[in-house]
Amino acid sequence: MVKESPIFSCTYNLLRWLIPTVIKFPRQHRFVLAQALQEDAMRFHSYLVEAVHDPRPLGKLNLADAELDKLRMHIRLSRDLALLTPGQYAHVAEMITEIGKLLGGWKQKYSQKP
């Protein structure tokens, strides 16, 4: 399922874009905000992988959803601190929105089952 689901390719693309972008943050933000962004994104991806292998994945999907919310907040803070350009923010916000929609669909699939 990891290779088949679009959420995994979207999350991989997010990680591939995010990591090189945040390591360019100024030094005073690199060790707090950049690290938090990377950790949020990596934990999100880990929860998705764990959900695939869990017979009752809704708990892992809820944890992933919480990580996605943290990531959104840290991205917004990065924009507000002018660490991301408006174009970068628009790009990453679009990626996160798409991932959120895919995650919501996945969660809905399992929350409707008895």
Query: Domain boundaries in the chain?
Result: 6-111
Q: Exposed (0-12), middle (13-18) or buried (19+): which is 70, by Cβ within 10 Å?
A: middle
- Comparing CA positions, the residue from 103, 98, 101 lying closest to residue 62 is 103
pLDDT of residue 1: 47
- Comparing CA positions, the residue from 44, 16, 38, 43 lying closest to residue 29 is 38
pLDDT digits (tens, 9 = 90+) for 46-100: 999 999 999 999 999 999 999 999 999 999 999 999 999 999 999 999 999 999 9
**Lookup result for tokens 């628009």:** 90
pLDDT of residue 4: 72
pLDDT at 44 over 80: yes
Contact 99, 14 (CB under 8 A): yes
- Comparing CA positions, the residue from 49, 53, 58 lying closest to residue 8 is 49
pLDDT of residue 62: 97
Q: Give 42's contacts (C-beta < 8 A, 6+ positions apart).
A: 15
Instruction: Give the CATH fold of the 6-111 domain.
Output: de novo design (two linked rop proteins) (1.20.1440)
pTM greater than the 0.85 cutoff: yes
pLDDT digits (tens, 9 = 90+) for 5-25: 899 999 999 999 999 999 999
pLDDT of residue 71: 98
pLDDT of residue 113: 60
